[in-house]
Amino acid sequence: MNMKVLYASSEALPFAASGGLADVAGSLPQALRNRKVACRVVMPLYGSISDEMRASMKFITSIMVPVSWRRQYCGIFEAKAGGVVYYLIDNEYYFKRNSFYGHYDDGERFAFFSRAVLEILPYIDFKPDIIHCNDWQTALVPVYYSTLYANREGYTGIKTVFTIHNIQYQGKYSRDILGDVFGLGEEHASLLHFGDCVNLMKGAIECANKVTTVSNTYAGEILDPWFSHGLDPILKDRSYKLSGILNGIDVKNYDPETDKDILYNYNAKDFSNKAKNKAALQEIFGLPVRDEVPVMGIVSRLVSHKGLDLIKRIMWELLNLTDMQLVVLGSGDWEYESFFKELAAAFPEKVGLRLGFIPDMARKIYAGSDLFLMPSKSEPCGLSQMVALRYGSIPIVRETGGLKDTITDSGDGKGNGFTFKTYDAYDMLDAIGRALAAYADREGWQKLVERALKCDNSWGKSAKEYIKLYESVL
């Protein structure tokens, strides 16, 4: 069967990216196409998209899209990237802003986008069997479809899939905007009402044919109040339609053999150049160039759910007691930024720090570090640990979400990293201690790096699982 999937996302590479969702929306449709699924992407045309990219877009038409009682201009543009067709939704009032999210009218902006996803269908040469929606920004698509479009001519028989990438961000708004902004009457209020607010993610869980998350473990975790940010009762009621499919990474994009952002290329067969990348990394960060000392990398948003309070608790002690180096790249909360600044000032020979999001520097850290620390409190899927493996940097992770599904402890001589269970600084310290001891055994370490480099986290396996899921609803 030649299945058609329209993949709706608020961001997608190569056009616009703020986080992991853009990686997924840029690479999963390609992987589906390679397996004979006709998959196209629809996303907003943000003001930040470069003129060069805009020049390659084709204007299809413009229509008016209802946003409750208002009708708003919607330009439809088409572009191609990586063999995939993208539809970009133009409205400068909503999308010509200095950032994608965080505006007072986000609810209205993404209600417009969700309506546009459905309204453009008669104007593009593509009638999807499935519309695959992602996170709260497209959560209204399944709601609008089931309440306003399912019985319209030209719209019957479409199925909707909704993926939760991070349950923390649900799209919560005050109840009084249900009609005025979202254009839904009281008869549909029960779909979106949750507690004292309107909750867009709750609406998608109620209305979509299937709900997925980005790892198997996370699908189980979000049924637990500790992880669910309040949505566990809804998910438990709808658990029959919930499953977890692990994200992959774009192995062409992240490939130490061809990566232009690292100084020395290597692969799983011959990774002797990894040592040269390590020396270069030590130089870049102003650390003494010493091969015998393990370098631990952190590339992360500096926010609490990434487990930084654990690092804060033990890192002084660790650096005082051991001969190791730490290289940190990221930005985020003032509390953690200033902690790492203090650390770098106190240990100038041991700690290198760059504040900000610098993609080419991230790759240099993956290629040059020996260890990669990711002690997250929660991590729906996580891509960094898979990228670290791809570059032969050995992850130290807490067993949560996708970290648990991709990293197994190498204590048995078979795993690809070091893991700890409880959210506890001294459990993490124990895992780091085991990793440092393993590094001292040079022969064993080489074998571990080789195992890491051979791990397959490409999209192939995940794409097959998505195809199975799509087939189950058609």
Residue 145 has what DSSP assignment? I
For 412-461, the pLDDT digits (tens) are: 789 999 999 999 999 999 999 999 999 999 999 999 999 999 999 999 99
Instruction: Identify the pLDDT of residue 413.
Output: 83
Q: In sequence order, what DSSP letters do the residues of 327-383 get, joined into one string?
A: EEEE-B-HHHHHHHHHHHHH-TTTEEEEES--HHHHHHHHHH-SEEEE--S--SS-S
For 117-166, the pLDDT digits (tens) are: 999 999 999 999 999 999 999 999 999 999 999 999 999 999 999 999 99
For 234-282, the pLDDT digits (tens) are: 999 999 999 999 999 989 989 999 999 999 999 999 999 999 999 999 9
Same domain, 449 and 300: yes
Task: Say if residues 381 and 214 touch (Cβ distance below 8 Å).
Answer: yes
Hunting for tokens 């986080």 — which residue is that? 19
CATH number at residue 185: 3.40.50.2000
Three-state SS at 306 = helix
Q: How many CA atoms lie within 13 A of 298 on its CB side?
A: 29
Hunting for tokens 């409750």 — which residue is that? 68
Q: Is residue 262 part of a domain?
A: no
Same domain, 114 and 182: yes
Same domain, 202 and 125: yes
Give the dihedral sign, CA 84/2/4/236.
Answer: negative
Q: Is residue 259 part of a domain?
A: no
- Would the pLDDT of 1 be above 70? no
Instruction: Identify the pLDDT of residue 411.
Output: 83
Order across the sheet with 193-194: list the strands: 172-174, 197-199, 193-194
- Would the pLDDT of 183 be above 90? yes
Side chain identity, residue 467: I
Residue 204 tokens, joined: 């998608």
For residue 318, what are the domain limits?
A: 274-453
Share of residues in the chain with pLDDT > 70 (%): 100
Residue 126, C-beta contacts closer than 8 angstroms, at least 6 positions apart: 4, 6, 38, 40, 85
C-alpha to C-alpha distance for 132 and 199, rounded to whole angstroms: 19
Q: Is residue 267 part of a domain?
A: no
Same domain, 64 and 178: yes
- In sequence order, which ranges of 369-409 are alpha helices (DSSP H)? 384-390, 401-406
Hunting for tokens 């069997």 — which residue is that? 129
Task: Say if residues 418 and 409 touch (Cβ distance below 8 Å).
Answer: yes
Same domain, 336 and 438: yes
C-alpha to C-alpha distance for 164 and 448, rounded to whole angstroms: 33
For 50-67, the pLDDT digits (tens) are: 999 999 999 999 999 999
Same domain, 100 and 223: yes
Same domain, 444 and 466: no
CA 118 distance to own-chain centroid = 25
Residue 252, C-beta contacts closer than 8 angstroms, at least 6 positions apart: 258
Same domain, 50 and 90: yes
- Would the pLDDT of 20 be above 90? no
- Would the pLDDT of 25 be above 70? yes
Instruction: Identify the pLDDT of residue 180.
Output: 93
Same domain, 306 and 339: yes
Q: Is residue 169 part of a domain?
A: yes
Q: Is residue 20 part of a domain?
A: yes
The structural domain count of the chain equals: 2
Residue 302 has what DSSP assignment? B
Residue 135 tokens, joined: 């996170």
Before 14, cis peptide (omega within 30)? yes
Q: Is residue 23 part of a domain?
A: yes
- Would the pLDDT of 398 be above 90? yes
Output the average pLDDT for the chain. 96
Same domain, 356 and 238: no
Same domain, 197 and 295: no
CA-wise closest residue to 23 among 12, 39, 36, 15? 12
Same domain, 61 and 87: yes
Q: Is residue 293 part of a domain?
A: yes
Q: Is residue 257 part of a domain?
A: no
Instruction: Identify the pLDDT of residue 361.
Output: 97
